Chain A
C-alpha cells in the first residue's frame, strides 16, 4: 500500500496544536484584561502596533494564525468523522480550503498593513 499524504496535514495539525496549547490561554488572558478595565502599557494600541510592525513580531503573528487555522481545520474534520459524517473528502476540501484562504489572508495582511 502507498504511504498516505495525510502526514502533511497532520504535521500542521500537530504543530498548530502545540502552538495553540501554549498561546491560546495567554491570548485569552490578554484579551480579558482590557475588557475588565486593566490596561497595562504593553497592551495599548501603540505598543501592540509597534510589536506587529517589527518583522519578527509580524512573522510570529502570521505563524500563530496560520498554524491555528490548520489545527482547527483538521480537528474539525476528525470531529465530523467521529460524529458520523461520512463525507470525508468533501469535509476535507471545505476545511482545508478555509484554512488555506485564512492563511493567504494572514500573509496578505502582514505584507499590506
Chain B
C-alpha cells in the first residue's frame, strides 16, 4: 500500500468555548486506498481525540457520515483520498446548524420526515387470516428506486432552495412521500398531499437538480419532485374544475 501525506482542513466549533467556527489543519500519513472518513478516524485516534463527527456503517448505508468535502456534500465513507489533491477541506453539511465540529443539528429534517408519514398507511383493516398484501413485480418497480434513500441529507445541503427557504419540506422527505404514494398497498396519499402539495412542499422546488447530482444512492429526488408536481397539478384541476370527480 502506498502512503501519502494527507492534509485536512477541518472546521472546528465548540459551542461552549467558541464564538465562531474556525479551521484546523491536520497532516497525517494515510494509505492511498483510504476514504476521508478513515483519515478522520486516524486523526481522532492518533492526533486529536476531541474531533467530533458522525459515522457508523463505513459502507454507505447508514447515511450518517455526510459532510461537505471541498465544498460538495459527500458521504465521507465513500470519498476516496486518491480523488483529491492538495489540502482537503472538510466542513459540516451546509444549511444545517452546527452542533459541534462536523456534527449538525438535524431536527428540522427529522420533523419534516415525520410530517410526510413515511410508512404504509393501510386503507381498510384486514384480518390476519386474509393473508399478506400481495404486490406484483411491476407494482414494486414503480417505487423501488425511491426506497433506496438512506436519509443522509446530502440533498438538503445541495439544495439552494432549502438554503433560501428553510421551511421547504425538501428533496428526501418529498421523495419518500412519493415512494409511499406510489405503493399499491398504501392509502395515505391524501394525508401526505396536505403536506407536500402545500406551499412549503413541492412548490418551493425550482428544479435545480443538485439533489439528484449529489445523491449517493441514485434516488433521483429531482425526478420524484417533478412527478409529484405533475400529479398535484392534475389533482388541482380535478378538485377545482371537475368537482364531480373529487375523490
* Chain A residues packing against B (C-beta within 8 Å): 1-8, 10-11, 14, 78, 81-82, 84
Decide: A7 near B233, CB < 8 A? Known: A78-B206, A81-B164, A81-B206.
yes
Across the A-B interface, the 7 shortest Cβ-Cβ residue pairs: A7-B236, A1-B198, A6-B203, A11-B233, A3-B197, A4-B199, A7-B233
SS class, residues of chain A in contact with chain B: helix
Tell me whether B164 and A11 are in contact (CB under 8 A). Answer: no
* Contact digits for B120-133, partner A, Cβ 8 Å, 1 yes 0 no: 00000000000000
| B195, CB-defined interface residue at 8 Å | yes
Instruction: Say what secondary structure dominates the interface of chain B.
Output: helix
Quick check: is B200 within 8 A (CB to CB) of the other chain? yes
Report yes or no: B237 in contact with A11, Cβ–Cβ below 8 A.
yes
Measured between alpha carbons, how far is A10 from B164 in the docked complex, in Å?
A: 20
A82 touches B197 (CB 8 A): no
- 18 additional A-B pairs beyond A3-B239, A10-B229, beta carbons within 8 Å, are A1-B195, A1-B198, A3-B194, A3-B197, A3-B236, A4-B197, A4-B198, A4-B203, A5-B236, A6-B199, A6-B203, A7-B235, A7-B237, A8-B240, A11-B237, A14-B233, A78-B206, A82-B160
Interface size on B, residues (CB 8 A): 21
Q: Would you list 19 pairs from A and B whose C-beta atoms are within 8 A, ordered by A residue? A: A1-B195, A1-B198, A1-B200, A2-B194, A3-B232, A3-B235, A3-B236, A6-B199, A7-B197, A7-B203, A8-B233, A10-B233, A11-B233, A11-B236, A11-B237, A14-B229, A82-B160, A82-B206, A84-B164
What is the CB-to-nearest-CB distance from A36 to chain B, in angstroms, rounded to a whole number? 35
Q: How far is the CA of A6 from the CA of B235 in the complex (A)?
A: 12
Nearest Cβ on chain B to A50's Cβ, whole angstroms: 35
Chain A residues near B197: list those with CB within 8 A. Answer: 3-4, 7
Chain A residues closer than 8 Å to B203, beta-carbon distance: 4, 6-7, 10
A99 CB to closest chain B CB, in angstroms?
17
Report the nearest B residue to A74, measured CB to CB.
B206
Complex Cα distance A14/B193, Å? 20
How far is it, in angstroms, between the C-alpha of A10 and the C-alpha of B203 when the chains are bound?
A: 8
The complex places the Cα of A10 from the Cα of B239 at a distance, in Å, of: 16
**Chain A contacts of B201 at CB under 8 A?**
1, 4
For residue B138, CB closer than 8 A to chain A, the reply is no
Q: Does B230 contact A (CB under 8 A)?
A: yes
Residues of A within 8 A of B199 (CB): 1, 4, 6
**B161 CB to nearest chain A CB (Å):** 8
Docked pose: A10 CA to B227 CA in angstroms: 12
The reply to whether A3 and B230 form a contact with Cβ atoms under 8 Å apart is no
